[in-house]
Structure 1
Amino acid sequence: MIGVLISIGVLIVAYLIFTSYYPSFGGDISKERQKSYTKSEQFENGAFKNKKPVPKDLSFTETLSLAYKFFTTNVPNGRPKADLAVRKLDSTAVADYNNKTRMVWFGHSSFLLQIEGLNILIDPMFGKVAAPHNLLGAERFNKEMPIAVEKLPQIDAVIFSHDHYDHLDYETILKIKDKVNHYFVPLGVGAHLEAWGVASDKITELDWWEETSLNELKFVCTPAQHFSGRKFNNRQSTLWSSWVIKSPNENIYFSGDSGYASHFKEIGNKYGPFDLALLECGQYNQMWSDIHMMPEETAQAGLDLKANKIMPIHWAGFKLALHSWTDPIIRVKAKALELNLNVITPIIGENIVVKDSLNNYINWWEGL
């Protein structure tokens, strides 16, 4: 028994040292910062919360049990048979692009948006693993990117939805921060960026329903039903969100991560209809469906938002759940067909013209 207690004590001390000094865990929210968040309806008793009382706080034993199940369950077709091929982009053509508003998908939930002469990154995560260290997670499905991070053009703005590792990546920030003009994030996420060397005057933090602008673009920080935290002792210390990106000609919605709830209809009524809705569809399970939509709910969310077409995201990047890697796209397409909802399924790196009425995307995942 003494040996067991000593081992547990050593592990706890090692964890505390690791999280205190390893930079990828990001920043902590100061008392002064917390005080400023008390004005938010989402902030209560030192933490951010959803409108509904989710997610359920797991006990230490429940957390260990869930982790054990995740790492020991054999998932048939959990990963593609080989690295996913991507469409490569010419860096000069990207830098000189001046045509219809387009997006380029990097897999999972990361995008380059080229709109109104501006270059915008959405949840850029170009790291190998969705974890604080490369040894703590499985590698992403696509080793190559459509364009090397170093060859990206000057970035006018970066938008983040929340601070989880598959969306906010330390190594990515180090690579892009010198070419980014400004960051737009939910409340608290700026603390991580500042810890990684981003100047505070280059960061705008927003609460749900707050709006800001960049040239002719309007950015709206809108609700999501999720959670936050980069280590055990700072859960819910920063806010999570979805985003509306509106130009004089286009209206785009980005869901971030979210369980299905009434906020989709509320956003659709207030800011819809949308030309394109980028909707989470992957890394789900009935055990945590309150914070990650099931594929059928993704399709319904598209209707709630009054979207002309949807693109399933949060899949084809990492294995973070116990479903096959193609289950999300198969199920959401089946439900969308039933609901008469248009779904686009581009290959990683393929041009996505936001207002293109054609849907000539292939089922590229079949057989992989």
Structure 2
Amino acid sequence: MGILFISQPSFGRLPQGERLERVRKSPHYDGTQFVNEVETAFSTGNRTKLGVWKDYVFGDKTLLFPDTALHVIKTDLKSLPQDRDWIVWFGHSSYLMNLSGKKVLVDPVFYKGSPVEFANKMFLGTDVYKPADMPDIDYLVVSHDHWDHLDYEVVTEMKPRVKKVVTALGVGEHFEYWGYPVEKIVELDWWEFADLEEGFRVTATPARHFSGRELHENKTFWASFAFKSPKRLVWIGGDSGYGPHYAKIGKEFPDIDLAIMENGQYNKDWSQVHTMPEYLGKEMIELDAKRYLTVHHSKFSLSKHPYYEPLENAKRAARESGKPVLMPQIGEVMYLE
């Protein structure tokens, strides 16, 4: 039964053929799997990985979920102005940007954030956006292949309306398996870039994380992205624990207008692969962007912290960094001019 379960199309496909050869040539691939630039362990507490997950599934869930539906603004995304830059956040790590008239959709999860319906349910009120609400997408950016960042139903439903997919090395295998033409897929290793069209360049930058949609971990890569448009540079942080890459990215890209940071689903038991609250302000200082938005919260509970705690972290990080931190409601339009 287990083999049949993970044989579903939604689990995707591991890199093969020419894509696998490119994976094997990556300086970040150790011959067996992708690795972080500094030694990284998933389990950093005193328990095994299985013990960590058992504690979450069967442990106390007080304050992990809101008691009532969260307030969400339902914006008509297709009627928003083309000539102004804006961003709309949909909760967790999903958001839509209009940058110089191009629509950029990041890590869209609108149906489910896990392989099964009963696990990882969305908070009440946060499931109001669906693929049909999205405009046609110029660039679909996917940071890595975890279920809470890559929703199979969303990307297959939107396939006819996506012009290009930008993702980390190896993740394109899923999209090709799901019917996306190879010429639509842009895969990048860390520090590689692609000129998408005049005035638009995307560079894959490091993250400290892991990957995998089934039993095999780290066979595909994870990344953050510096997305340059004619007007501004937006840094798409993906999922990442703290590491030396924040300072490197800040030095390489001193003109980041908006940095979108992971903030949520952290735990001392996996403190190296997600940003712990005490590091959020430090990351912001090292990136030295003009302003910030934190995501990876307010839609799912994947850890043991109260559901509202990341918002308090964002306020504290704003004080520590001395920089503006945007705190929109889900569905609210934030104009970037």
Which TM bucket (shorter chain)?
over 0.9
2:333 corresponds in structure 1 to: 351
| SS of alignment partner, residue 275 of structure 1 | strand
1:15 equivalent in alignment to 2:6 = no
Task: Supply the distance in 1 between the matched residues of 2:42 and 2:318 (Cα, whole angstroms).
Answer: 30
**Could you say what the CA RMSD is over the residues aligned between the two structures, in angstroms?**
1.8
Pick from 226, 238, 255 the counterpart of residue 209 of structure 2.
Answer: 226
Identity of aligned residues (%): 34
1:98-117 to 2 correspondences below 5 Å: 98-117=82-101
**CA gap 1:52/1:141 in 2 versus in 1, 3 angstroms:** farther
3-state DSSP of counterpart to 2:98: strand
Q: Which amino acid aligns with 2:92?
A: H
- Corresponding residue of 1:320: 302
On the 8 A contact 1:222/1:241 being kept in 2, the answer is yes
Which residue of structure 1 lines up, in the alignment, with residue 132 of structure 2?
Answer: 150
Which residue identity is paired with 2:283?
A
Match of 2:219 in 1: 237
Match of 1:156, SS state, is strand
Taking the aligned partners of 2:247 and 2:124, their CA distance within structure 1 comes to: 33
2:275 counterpart letter in structure 1: M
Which residue identity does 1:103 align to in structure 2? I
1:161 aligns with 2:138: no
Q: Structure 1 residues 181, 335: closer, same or farther in 2, change over 3 A?
A: closer
- Correspondence for 1:126: 110
Q: 1:92 to 1:241 in 2, by over 3 A?
A: closer
Q: Which consecutive residues of structure 1, in runs of 5 or more, have no partner in the other structure?
A: 1-13, 356-368
1:251-270 equivalent positions in 2, closer than 5 A: 251-270=233-252
Describe the SS at the equivalent of 1:44: coil
Go from structure 1 to structure 2 and tell me whether the alpha carbon gap of 1:295 and 1:142 turns closer, same or farther (over 3 Å shift): farther
Distance (Å, rounded) in 1 between the aligned partners of 2:162 and 2:19: 24
- Could you tell me the TM-score, scaled by structure 1's length? 0.86
Shift of 1:31: 5.3
**Is the CA contact 2:76–2:133 (under 8 Å) kept in the aligned structure 1?**
no
Give the match's secondary structure for 2:62: coil
Preserved contact between residue 55 and residue 227 of structure 1 (Cα < 8 Å): no
Look up the match of 1:280: 262
Kept in 1, the 8 Å contact 2:43–2:269? The answer is no
CA distance in 2, matches of 1:105, 1:51: 30
Question: Given the superposition, is the C-alpha separation of residues 57 and 316 from structure 1 closer, same or farther in structure 2, using an over 3 Å criterion?
Answer: closer
User: Is the Cα–Cα contact under 8 Å of residues 65 and 123 in structure 2 kept in the other structure?
Assistant: no
CA contact (8 A) 1:141 1:318 kept: no
Kindly indicate whether the alpha-carbon contact (under 8 Å) linking 2:284 and 2:317 is maintained by their aligned counterparts in 1.
no
Distance 2:321 2:137 in 1: 37
Task: Kindly indicate whether residue 186 of structure 2 is the aligned counterpart of residue 200 of structure 1.
Answer: no
Q: Is the 8 A contact 2:143 2:223 kept in 1?
A: yes
Alignment deviations for residues 204-250 of structure 1 (CA, whole Å, 9 cap, x no partner): 11100011122221111100000000111x20000000011112221
Mean CA deviation greater in 136-145 or 319-328 = 136-145
Matches of 2:78 and 2:205, distance apart in 1 = 34
CA offsets per residue over residues 125-161 of structure 1, 9 Å max, x none? 112x31112133333443433x542132211110110
1:135 paired residue among 102, 118, 129: 118
1:112, distance to aligned residue in structure 2 (A): 0.6
TM-superposition CA deviations, 1:175-227 (whole Å, max 9, x none): 21110011011001011111212111110111000111222211111000000
In structure 1, which of residues 70, 73, 79 is the aligned counterpart of residue 59 of structure 2? 73
Match of 1:291 in 2: 273
Higher helix fraction: Structure 1 or Structure 2?
1
Q: Distance in 1 between matches of 2:194 and 2:170?
A: 17
Gaps of 5+ in 2: none
Contact kept, 8 Å, 2:126 with 2:299, in 1: the verdict is no
Please, what TM-score do these two structures have when normalized by structure 2?
0.94
For residue 75 of structure 1, report the CA deviation from its aligned partner: 3.1
| Greater RCO, 1 or 2 (C-alpha within 8 Å, sep 6+) | 2
- Secondary structure, in 3 states, of the residue corresponding to 1:181? strand
Distance 1:231 1:57 in 2: 18
Count of aligned positions:
334
Counterpart CA distance in 2 for 1:238 and 1:340 is 36
Q: Say which one has the larger Rg.
A: 1
Question: Which residue in 1 is equivalent to 2:286?
Answer: 304
- What amino acid maps onto 1:304 in structure 2? E
What SS does the corresponding residue of 2:326 show, helix, strand or coil?
Answer: coil
Q: For 1:80 and 1:265, locate their aligned partners in 2 and report how far apart those are by CA, in whole Å.
A: 35
1:136 aligned counterpart, secondary structure: coil
